[in-house]
Structure 1
C-alpha cells in the first residue's frame, strides 16, 4: 500500500471518528481540526474554512491548554472543559493533549477531545424533564411542607421578587425554580439555568451576555456558593451596571446562607441581590409521604411509554423504601427506579428480588434507622433469586469488602491485613466497586 493510499485512510479516520482532534505546529498554526472538533466549536465546514482563510479563527477557550503544552513540552491529561460554543450551545468535553516530537525535536501538539456533554447534563439534572416544561402542576409532592413551598413560590412568581432556594441536591429545587418561571403573570423570554459548580468564567459570560442582550430573563443560579467570592462580586457589579426590573433572579444554596456568609463562601452583597425571600426545600427524609406519589407517576410513565402492566410496589419493597433515608433525595429514587425499569417485563409489582444489590447493602448498613441488619441478601428463596454465578460471586466479594471496611473505619492497610490481601489489591477493588466513601481513612 503506497503512502498516498495510507494518507487518504488517515484523513478518513480522522474526519469520521467521534473523537475531536486538533493539531497545531510550534508557531500555533492550525494543521488539523476534524469534523467532531468543529461540531464542538459550533461551526460547519464551510464556515470553518471561510474563517480559516480570513485568519479569524477564534480558539479563545479551546486553544489555551494546547498552547500550554507547546510552551512546556509536557502533556496535559484528563482536562475537563465546559464552555458555550458559536451556536450558543453549552459543551463539555474531556481532552488529552500531547506534545509532538520528530527525532527528538518538538514540532507541535495534538489534542484529543471526548464529548461528554450529554453525560454532564444528566449528572447535574436533579430530576428528569420528560420532554415537558416543569410547571407547578406536574410536581407530585403531597406533603404539607412541599405544598407550603409551592405556595411561597407562587407568591414569588406573582411579585417577581428575587428568591434564594435552600436545600440539598436532588430535592427538586430546579423544578421549583422553573415552576416560578412558568407561573409568571408577565411572561419572560427565557429561563436560563446556570450551574455554578462548573467553570465560573463560563457562568460569568452567560450572566453578562443575557443581562446585556435580553430584556426579560429568568436567571436561576444553582449553588451560587460554589463561585469564588471574586466571581460573586462580579455578578453583583453586572446587575448594578445593568439594572432591569423585568429580570427575575433565583438562586440556590446547599445550606443556611447566613452560615455560608460567616464561612466566607457567600458574598453578603450577592445574597442581598437574590434574597427578596428565602424558601427552604426540605429533603425527602423529612417528607416521606412524597415517595409513593413520585413512584406512582414514574410507573404511569413507564406504562404509557412501554405498554407495561406495572402497577406499584410489593408491601415489602414499599416498607423498605419508606424506611430508607434517601440521602440523594428524589434524584436517588429516580436513579434507583431507572435501574429497576429494565427488569420490568410482565410484572405487575416491583418485588424485592428486583432491587439492585447495592441498594440492599445500603439497607443492611442502616441499622441505626431500625432496618434489620440480618436481611438475607444472599439467601436463595425462589427462582427469581438465581443469577449468574459470576455476578453472585462479585456481589459477595463487594459485600464482604464493604463490611470489612466498616469494621476498620475505612482504613485500607488494616482492612487489607484482615482480608489477607495486598494493600494495592484492596485499593483496586475499592475503586472497582465504587467503595471510596467507605475508605476515607486511607493511610
Structure 2
C-alpha cells in the first residue's frame, strides 16, 4: 500500500514538474530579449525564439548541439559564453554590432553570466537585447546635429538653429521665478557650467536655451541630449564618440562633446545617467578633453555644460543618483525653477498666452476662461506644471465651436477627474472619485466621469443647482436626480 501511495505521489510530483517546465518554456518564448544557455560542456540547453530571430539560426540547429559546431564562426576566445564558462566572471552590457544570416545589421547589448551551483560553474547564460532601432535613432540625432552645424556656418543667425527660446520667452511675475531668471541672466555672461533643477514641466530646457542665447556662445552649437532616453551603452558612444575597432561594428564618429565644441551641451535628466558614466563625464569637465570609446588619443574640447534634473540635487546625491563630486563641478551656478503651485498668480499670465497661441492655431476666438474654470485652476496642484496647463488649455479649445469663454464642460475629462481628487475644498474632497475595481464596465467609467463633471459644475456655481444645471445643459430636475444618485450633497 505504501509503495502504491509513493508511486501516486511520484506521478503527482512529475506532473507538477512537467507543468512548471511548460510554464517556464512559455515565459522564455514570450520574452522580448534573447536567451542562450550552455551547460558546463559547452552544449546549448536553452535557446529561445527571440534569440533565434536575432541570430537567424533555427532552434533545432542550436539546441542540444555543441556551441562551436552549431556556430562555426565562433572560437573559444571570441565566444562570450565560452569565455564566461572558462573564467567564471560575468561580462555585462557589451554592445555588439553584427550582420545576421539574412544580411541585416543588428545591434545588441549582451550580458553574460556564469551559472553557479554550489560554487561550481555549471554553465553560462547570455541575455541579448535588440537595440538596433535605438541605435538608428541615435545615429540620426548625430547626423542631424552635424547638418545643423554645417548650415549654421553658411551665415550668421540671431541664435543657433537648435534653439528657439530666449530670456524674453520666460513668462511670469512670481518672486521665486524672478530670482531664477536673474540667476540665468548672470550665468549667461560666464563660461561656467550650470545645473538647473525643477519638476517636470517647469521649463528647464527653456531656461537652458535662454542662457545659451544670451551668452557669447550664442552663434555656436547648442546640442541637447536626454540622458534617460537612451541605454547607457549608446549614451557613452553618443557623448564621447566612437573609434573603429572600439567594439564590434564601431565606426569613427565624433560625439556630441566634439560637435558642441565652442558652444553648449545640454544634458537633460542627468540623474538618469549611471554612476560609472558620470565618472567619465566628470573627467571631461575637469580636463576639457574627451576620449572616444576605444581610442587611445584625446581630443581637447571647449564646451559649456548645462545639466537639468527633475529632483533636488541633495536628494539625488543621497539616493546615489548623482555623484557628489560631479555636482560640485556642474553646480557652479545652480538654478531652481519653482513649481506652478508655488506661483499660482502666474496661471493667469500663462492662460492668456496659451489662449492667444491656440486661437491662431485652431482658428477660434476665445477671450478668457470662466470664473469657475479659474477657481478650479487655482485650487489644482498642477503636478505637470506649466506643460500640463498648456495641454489643458489646448484640449479645452479643441471642444469649442462658437463660444468665447472656456467653461468647465470644455475641460478634458481626465483633468476634471484629477482636479476633483486634488481639490482643496471640503465639497470637492467629498466627491473624490475612486479607482475602478476589476470587473467594472464602461458604464461604470461613464458614471464616474459624469459624477466628476457634475461635482466640478457644482463647485463652480457655489452649489447653486439651477446655475449648475444651466452649465451642464440639463434640467434642474434631472440634475437633482443625479445629485441624489451620486450623493453629492
The question of a shared fold, defined as TM-score above 0.5 by the shorter chain, is answered with yes
Q: CA 1:251 to 1:305, structure 2 compared with 1: closer, same or farther past 3 Å? A: same
Q: CA offset at residue 253 of structure 1?
A: 2.2
* Residue aligning to 1:395: 446
Matched, 1:191 2:222: yes
Matches of residues 116-265 of structure 1 in structure 2 within 5 Å?
Answer: 133-198=164-229, 199-208=231-240, 209-243=255-289, 246-265=302-321
Matched, 1:89 2:117: no
CA offset digits 1:52-71 (Å, max 9, x no partner):
9xx99854xx3557xxxxxx
CA offset digits 1:74-112 (Å, max 9, x no partner):
999998963355853379xxxxxxxxxxxxxxxxxxxxx
Q: Pick from 350, 354, 366: which aligns with 2:406?
A: 350
Q: CA 1:263 to 1:397, structure 2 compared with 1: closer, same or farther past 3 Å? A: closer
* Residue aligning to 1:361: 417
CA offset digits 1:171-203 (Å, max 9, x no partner):
111110111111112425222222122322333
Unaligned runs of 5+ in 1: 1-21, 30-50, 66-71, 92-130, 378-389, 402-443
Matches of residues 394-413 of structure 1 in structure 2 within 5 Å?
Answer: 394-397=445-448
Q: CA 1:83 to 1:153, structure 2 compared with 1: closer, same or farther past 3 Å? A: farther
Q: Distance in 2 between matches of 1:88 and 1:163?
A: 27
**1:279 aligned counterpart, secondary structure:** strand
**1:289 aligned counterpart, secondary structure:** helix
CA RMSD, Structure 1 to Structure 2 (Å): 4.0
Q: CA 1:73 to 1:259, structure 2 compared with 1: closer, same or farther past 3 Å? A: closer
Asked whether the equivalents of residues 136 and 179 of structure 1 are also in contact (C-alpha less than 8 Å), the reply is yes
298-307 or 319-328, which moves further after superposition?
298-307
Q: Distance in 2 between matches of 1:74 and 1:161?
A: 44
Q: CA offset at residue 397 of structure 1?
A: 4.8
* Residue aligning to 1:313: 369
Asked whether the equivalents of residues 109 and 128 of structure 2 are also in contact (C-alpha less than 8 Å), the reply is no
Q: Distance in 2 between matches of 1:154 and 1:180?
A: 7
Matches of residues 275-354 of structure 1 in structure 2 within 5 Å?
Answer: 275-354=331-410
CA offset digits 1:238-296 (Å, max 9, x no partner):
33454467421111223332232233221122112211111111110001122121121
Aligned residue pairs, count: 302
**Structure showing greater Rg:** 2
Q: Distance in 1 between matches of 2:202 and 2:425?
A: 21
**1:83 aligned counterpart, secondary structure:** helix
Q: CA 1:154 to 1:56, structure 2 compared with 1: closer, same or farther past 3 Å? A: farther
Q: Distance in 2 between matches of 1:348 and 1:400?
A: 26
Asked whether the equivalents of residues 140 and 293 of structure 1 are also in contact (C-alpha less than 8 Å), the reply is yes
CA offset digits 1:390-409 (Å, max 9, x no partner):
987532156889xxxxxxxx
Asked whether the equivalents of residues 84 and 202 of structure 1 are also in contact (C-alpha less than 8 Å), the reply is no
Q: CA 1:309 to 1:376, structure 2 compared with 1: closer, same or farther past 3 Å? A: farther
Asked whether the equivalents of residues 220 and 262 of structure 2 are also in contact (C-alpha less than 8 Å), the reply is yes
Unaligned runs of 5+ in 2: 1-52, 58-70, 74-97, 111-123, 144-161, 241-254, 290-299, 434-440, 453-489
Q: Distance in 2 between matches of 1:200 and 1:367?
A: 40
Q: Distance in 2 between matches of 1:132 and 1:344?
A: 32
